[in-house]
C-alpha cells in the first residue's frame, strides 16, 4: 500500500507524474529510446527543456517580463554561493530565519560584506522577525520564503528598493504571490517540483553582469542563459519529471487552485494541533506558521510510544521532526492530498481517546 508521505524532501510527487516518468524511463513517447539514453541535443529533449522553462514563467506570471529560467545542478546549496558570485559586488543584506538562511549567509560572506538585517536565532527560529530595515546601499536583499526545518513562512514579500533574491525551495508553486517583486528566485526541485538533481533558477536578466570579478563558466548565470540552460549536459530525468509536475499543476488549475487545497490542508492540521490538548505547535506566532511544513510537539507526559505506533500503523511516513527542532514535522507539499492530512488528524484524535 502507498504510504501517506509527509516527508520533508525528497518528497511526495503526484502518482500520475510517477507513472508517466516510469514509462519514459523505459521508452520515451514511442521513439524507441529511453528518456535517459537519448541525446540532450535531440529534438525531443530540447522540447522538454523549452516547455519546462516556459511553463515555469507561465505559472509565476512572469512571461515576457525579462526573466530567464535555468535548470541547474548542485542544489539550492550551490545557489547560496552562485547568487553571491554573480550579484555581490560590495555589500548584501540577508534575513536570517533558519538553517538554510544561515548557510546562505556563510557562503555569501566569502564575496563581500554582509548585513544580517534581523535574525530569529535567539528563539531557535520559531518566528519571522518583523520591523527590520534593509539598507539602501546593498547589492541585493536575500530572504528564505519558507523555513522547511522550523516550519515558519514569510506571509508578505518585503518591499525593497534593491534587488530581491529568494530561496523558495520549499514553497515555490504553492501559493499565489506577485512574483515580479523578485529579481532572482531559486529552488531545489525535490521539495515541491520534482526529484532531486536539478535546481530551478528564475532570474531577471537586467540584474546580471554588474560585478567586476571573473566568474567561472559553470557558476555564471549569463553563461547558462546564453546556452538556453544547456551549457553542459542537463539532468534530463529531473527536468522531465519537473515538467510533468508543472503540467499536472496546470491541469489542476495552476497555483491559485493548489493554494486553496494547501490552505485547506493547513487549516485542518493546525486546527487539530490547537484543539487537541496532547499537542502543541512549535511556531510562536500562528501568523508565521508554514502551510508546507507544520512543526509540533507532544504535550509533556504524553505517550510518545503510543503516538508513534499509531501513525506508523496508519501508513504515515516521514513525520519525525528535524534533529534541531525535535518533535514532529508534517510536510504538506502540493502533491499531498487532503485525505492524507485527514488520516493524520484522525490518528491524533485516536491518540487522545486512547491516552
Ligand X SMILES: *Cc1c(COP(=O)(O)O)cnc(C)c1O
Q: Of 333 and 351, which CB lies nearer to ligand X in the complex structure?
A: 333
Q: Of 171 and 272, which CB lies nearer to ligand X in the complex structure?
A: 171
Closest distance between ligand X and the C-beta of residue 339, in Å? 25
Q: In the annotation, is 100 catalytic? A: yes
Closest distance between ligand X and the C-beta of residue 99, in Å? 8
The residue nearest ligand X at its CB is 75
Q: Of 33 and 118, which CB lies nearer to ligand X in the complex structure?
A: 118
From the list 100, 204, 288, 291, the catalytic residue is 100
Closest distance between ligand X and the C-beta of residue 316, in Å? 21
Q: Of 28 and 80, which CB lies nearer to ligand X in the complex structure?
A: 80
Closest distance between ligand X and the C-beta of residue 97, in Å? 9
Q: Of 236 and 298, which CB lies nearer to ligand X in the complex structure?
A: 236
**What does DSSP say about strands 293-298 and 279-281: parallel, antiparallel, or unpaired?**
antiparallel
From the list 139, 171, 183, 191, the catalytic residue is 191
Q: Of 84 and 278, which CB lies nearer to ligand X in the complex structure?
A: 84
Distance CA 337, CA 215 (A): 43
Q: In the annotation, is 248 catalytic? A: no
The residues that touch ligand X, with contacts defined as CB under 6 A, are 9, 75-77, 100, 144, 148, 167, 169-170, 188, 191
Question: What would the 3-class secondary structure string for the chain be?
Answer: CCCEECCCCCCCCCHHHHHHHHHHHHCCCCCCCCHHHCCCCCHHHHHHHHHHHHHHHHHHCCCCCCEEEEEECCHHHHHHHHHHHHHCCCEEEEEECCHHHHHHHHHHCCCCEEEEEEECHHHCCCCCCCCCCCCCCCCCEEEECEECCCCEECCCCCCCCCCEEEECCCCCCCCCCCHHHCCEEEEEHHHCCCCCCCEEEEEEHHHCCCCCCCCCHHHCHHHHHHCCCCCCCCCHHHHHHHHHHHHHHHHHCCHHHHHHHHHHHHHHHHHHHHHCCCEEECCCCHHHECCCEEEEEECCCCCHHHHHHHHHHCCEECCECCCCCCCEEEECCCCCCHHHHHHHHHHHHHHHHHC
Q: In the annotation, is 167 catalytic? A: yes
Closest distance between ligand X and the C-beta of residue 268, in Å? 23
Closest distance between ligand X and the C-beta of residue 74, in Å? 7
Q: Catalytic positions, please?
A: 100, 167, 191
Amino acid at each position: 500500500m502507498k504510504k501517506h508521505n509527509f516527508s520533508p524532501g525528497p518528497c511526495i510527487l503526484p502518482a500520475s507524474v510517477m507513472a508517466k516518468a516510469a514509462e519514459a524511463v523505459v521508452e520515451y513517447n514511442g521513439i524507441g529510446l529511453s528518456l535517459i539514453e537519448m541525446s540532450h541535443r535531440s529534438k525531443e529533449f530540447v522540447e522538454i527543456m523549452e516547455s519546462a522553462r516556459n511553463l515555469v514563467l507561465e505559472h509565476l506570471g512572469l512571461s515576457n517580463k525579462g526573466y530567464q529560467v535555468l535548470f541547474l545542478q548542485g542544489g539550492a546549496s550551490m545557489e547560496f554561493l552562485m547568487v553571491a558570485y554573480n550579484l555581490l559586488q560590495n555589500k548584501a543584506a540577508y534575513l536570517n530565519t533558519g538553517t538554510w538562511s544561515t548557510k546562505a549567509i556563510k557562503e555569501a560572506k566569502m564575496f563581500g560584506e554582509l548585513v544580517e538585517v534581523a535574525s530569529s536565532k535567539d528563539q531557535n527560529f520559531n518566528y519571522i522577525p518583523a520591523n527590520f530595515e534593509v539598507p539602501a546601499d546593498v547589492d541585493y536583499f536575500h530572504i528564505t520564503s519558507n523555513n522547511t526545518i522550523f516550519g515558519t513562512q514569510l506571509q508578505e514579500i518585503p518591499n525593497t528598493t534593491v534587488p530581491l533574491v529568494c530561496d523558495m525551495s520549499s514553497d515555490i508553486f504553492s501559493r499565489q504571490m506577485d512574483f515580479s517583486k523578485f529579481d532572482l528566485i531559486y529552488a531545489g526541485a525535490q521539495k515541491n517540483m520534482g526529484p532531486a538533481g536539478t535546481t530551478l533558477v528564475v532570474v531577471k536578466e537586467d540584474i546580471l553582469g554588474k560585478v567586476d570579478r571573473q566568474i567561472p563558466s559553470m557558476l555564471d548565470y549569463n553563461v547558462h542563459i546564453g546556452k538556453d540552460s544547456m551549457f553542459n549536459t542537463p539532468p534530463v530525468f529531473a527536468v522531465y519529471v519537473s515538467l510533468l509536475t508543472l503540467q499536472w499543476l496546470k491541469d489542476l488549475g495552476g497555483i491559485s487552485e493548489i493554494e486553496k487545497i494547501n490552505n485547506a490542508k493547513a487549516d485542518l492540521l493546525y486546527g487539530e494541533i490547537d484543539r487537541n490538548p496532547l499537542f502543541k505547535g512549535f511556531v510562536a506566532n500562528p501568523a508565521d506558521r508554514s502551510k508546507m511544513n507544520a512543526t509540533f510537539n507532544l504535550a509533556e507526559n504524553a505517550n510518545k510510544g503510543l503516538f508513534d505506533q499509531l501513525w506508523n500503523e496508519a501508513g504515515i511516513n516521514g513525520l519525525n521532526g528535524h534533529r534541531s527542532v525535535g518533535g514532529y514535522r508534517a510536510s504538506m507539499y502540493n502533491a499531498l492530498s487532503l485525505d492524507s492530512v485527514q488520516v493524520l488528524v484522525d490518528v491524533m484524535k485516536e491518540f487522545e481517546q486512547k491516552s
